[in-house]
Structure 1
Amino acid sequence: MRTTFSLLAAGIALLAALPALLPAGLLIASIQMLVAALFASAYGMLSGRAGMLSFGHAAYFGIGAFATVHAMNALGGTGLLPTPLMPLVGAAAGLAVGIVAGWFATQRSGTSFAMITLAIAELLHALAPQLKGLFGGESGLSTMRAPAWGLGFGSTVQVYYLTLAWVLLCLGLLYFHSRTPAGRLMLALRENGHRLRFLGYDVHGLGVSAFAISAMFSGVAGALQALGNEAANYAVFDAGVSAGVVLNSTIGGVGSFLGPALGAALMTFFGYAASDATQSWLLYQGVLFVLVMMFAPAGLAGLVAAGARLVERRGWRTAASVALLAAGATVLLGAGGVFIVEMLQRLCSQDYRALAQAAAELPAVRLLERPWSPTALSTWMLPAGLLACGTVLAVVARRRVGSAT
C-alpha cells in the first residue's frame, strides 16, 4: 500500500512539475494527454467495470464540449460559473444526454448495445452540420477564456494546471465510485446480469446509472478540450473519436483503474510525435493495437502486473533480465518493421513512381539520412537481420518467463 501511494505521489509531483520541464509545444501536447486520459478513464468505467462496450462515446465528449462553449459565450466566465468551473456545464450536459441515451441503449446488451451507441453518435455527427445554431455548422463555434479568481487563463501554463486539477479530481471521484456498493455492483453486472436480476436488483437501472456516470465524466473531458482550444467543431462527434477511446483504453488495459488513462496518454503522445515524423503513423497505431490484442490482451497495465508478479516469485534479477530481453526485442522488431514500412511507403508514393517512370529505373530511396537502393540485397538484409535478432530475443525472454513461473 505504501509503495502504491508513493508511486502515486511521485506521479502527481511529476505532472505538477511538467510546465517547468517542457517547452510550450510539448505542454500543449500534455494538456491533450490529460484530456484523453480522463476520457479513456470514463469510458473504461463503462467498458471495463460494467462490461458494456460502447462504440459511440464521442457523443458525450462532444456534447460536453459544445455545452461549455455555449456557456462561456453566454456567461462570459463570470458570475456563478467562472472559467475554472465551466467543466461543470460539460458534466451536466453529458449526464443529461447520457441518462436519455443510456435508457434506450441499455434496453439491449452485447452487440445490439454497441450498435445502438454507435447509431446515437453517428446521428449527432450527421445532424451537427445542419443545426448551425447549436453546433456552428462547418466552422464550429469559438469562444474565449475569461479571467477569473485573479488568473487570466491566457497562458498555456495556467490552462495546463486547470486541466490537471480537473483530471485529478475526476479520477479521484471515479476511484471513489469504484469502491462504493454501486461501483461494486457494476462488476456483478458485467459478470452475470441474470443472477443480479434474480437477486432482486434493477439491472436496467444499474446499466443506465453506469452509462450516465461515464457520459458525465466524458462531458467533463469534452469541456476541458473546449477550454483548451477555445473552440468546438462537429468533428468531435466523428466515429474516429469513439474508435480512438476504445483503442486507447484497450491498449492501456480496461481491467485496471489507471490502465485506460495510461494507454490514452501514451497513444496521444505517440500520435503527436509520430504524425510529424511519418505519414504512416495510423498504420503503426493499428499494428500496435493488433499486437496488444494478440500477445497482451490485458494491456499495458497487465504487463506491469505480470512484471510485479515475476518480481515477487523470482526476484529483481530475473525480472530485470526478462525486461531487458523484452525491451531489446521490442526495439529490434520495431526498427525492422519501421524500416520496411517506410521503404514501402516511399516506393508506393506517387512522387516516387513518377521519378521511376522518368528515369526508367528504380532510383534510391532516402531514409535515415542516406540513400537505399530498392534493388540491392543489402537494403532488405538490414530489416531482415533486425527482425531475426528481435525474434530470437523475444523467444529467449518468453522461455525465461516460462522457466521462472
Structure 2
Amino acid sequence: MRSSLFHSIMDWSLSLRLPNGNRAPIADSPLRNQNGPAIFTYFGAEDYLYWDWASNPSDPYKVKGGFELFIQHLAYVETMESAGPPEWKNRFFVDGGMATFRSGWAKDDRVLILMGENGSARKTVHDHTDGTSFIMAAYGELLLTDTGYYKPNQFQNAVTAGAGSHNVILVDGDEVPEKGLLSNWGDADAFIENTLDGTAIAYAESRQNYPNTKVVRGVAFLRERYFVVVDRLESQDGVEREYRFRLHAYAGYDLDGNVSLGEHGPLIERDSGSVAVYTQASQGVAVVEEPAFKIYSAPHVHKLVKNAEHHTVTDSVVTGIAPDFLSILAPFKTGESGGPDGPFEVTQISTDHGVAWYIMGEDTMDIAWLRESGAPTELVLPTNETLNTDAAFVWMSLDKSLALMVEGTVLSLDDQTVLTSSEEETVAVKQ
C-alpha cells in the first residue's frame, strides 16, 4: 500500500477522470468511478485522491463496486478539508501507451484520452483492438466514446472488442488482427511518441502498423479549448483502398442527445455539452455517412451503464492510396451562441494534396494545415495572407503568437518567419 508503484497506478486512474466524474470507458470498462484510491492517502499517497473520492459528481464517497471496502474506508480515510485536484493536467504514459489531455478538473473542462498501448499493457484478456483510438468529453458530457463490454452470450468474445467499435481509421472496413479467445490478443502494438506538454499547445502521437498501412495519429490540444486530430497514413504496397474515419457519439438511438450529419462530420449535442466535428481527406472528398444499423450488433451497440443500448456511429469515407485525414473537434457549451464557450466557425481552405481549416473563436483566428507528398508549400488564407511551410502539419494563430510544426523546418506568414526547427526535431512549438 505504501509502494510508489501503487500510487502511480492511482495517478493513472485519476488521469482518466471525465468531467462528470466517471473514469473513461476504455477496453471492457463501463462508465463508473473508482472505489478505493482514497484509502491510499493513509499510506502516503497524494491528498488529491481524497478529493477525487469526496468531490466526485458521479458517485461521491463510493465504498462499493468490485470490492466491498466500507470497513477499510472507515478505518483509514480521514477527512481532508484542504484536499484539492492535482496541479498536473496533461499526462503522457509513454511506456504503457496512453496520452491524456485536459484543460482542468471542473465540470466545464475539456478532456481527450488517446490510446497507444503496447507490450504487456496491450496483451490482457480485457483489452480491445483499439490502438490509436480516443475518447473525448467536454462541458460535463461524454461526447465521443468507446463502447464497453457487450457479449451476446458467454461463449463469444465481446462484440464491442473489435476495431469497428472504436474511434479509429478503418481500412477496407478492418485494420489490425481481430481479438481471439484468451491469449490470442489480436490488435498490434501502438506507441505514444513525440509528446509535447504546454498550456496553449499540447501534442502527442500514437503510431501503429496495420497489415498494409502505417498510421500515425497526432492529437493537438489548442488553447485548452479544442482538439485537432492529424491522421498521417503511409501505404506499404501502393494499393487503392477504402478508408473510414470512424466516430462513436455518446448520443442518439437509446441515449439522450442528438446527432446530425453535416457536410464535414457530425454535430453531437447533449444537455450541457456538444461537439462539432469537421473532417476532410487529402485525396478526394470524404463523404459523411452512417454505417448500416443492426440491433445488438457492432458498431452501434454498447454496454456502459446497465443494459446493452445503441448509439449513433458516423464515418467519413474516401477511397485512395493511404490518404491523410485532418479533423477539428470543436466542443462548446450547449445553448451558447457566442462567448468563450460558444461554437467555433470552421471553414475549409482549398489546397492540393492536403487539408486546411480556418478556425475562428470569439477572439481567435487559427489555421491548421496537413500536407502529404506533392503538396504545395504555399497556402493562401481567407485573409489574403500567405502561409509557407515544408512541414507535414502546422497549426498557427494568425497573430503569430502560437505555432506548432510537425516534421518541418520552417513556417512563415507573408515572408515573416514564425517558427524554425532542425531536421532532427519532429515537433517544434512557439508558445
TM-score (norm 1): 0.24
Larger radius of gyration: 1
Which structure's residues are more often helix, by fraction?
Answer: 1
Specify which structure has the bigger relative contact order, considering alpha-carbon pairs within 8 angstroms and separated by 6 or more residues: 1
TM-score (norm 2): 0.23
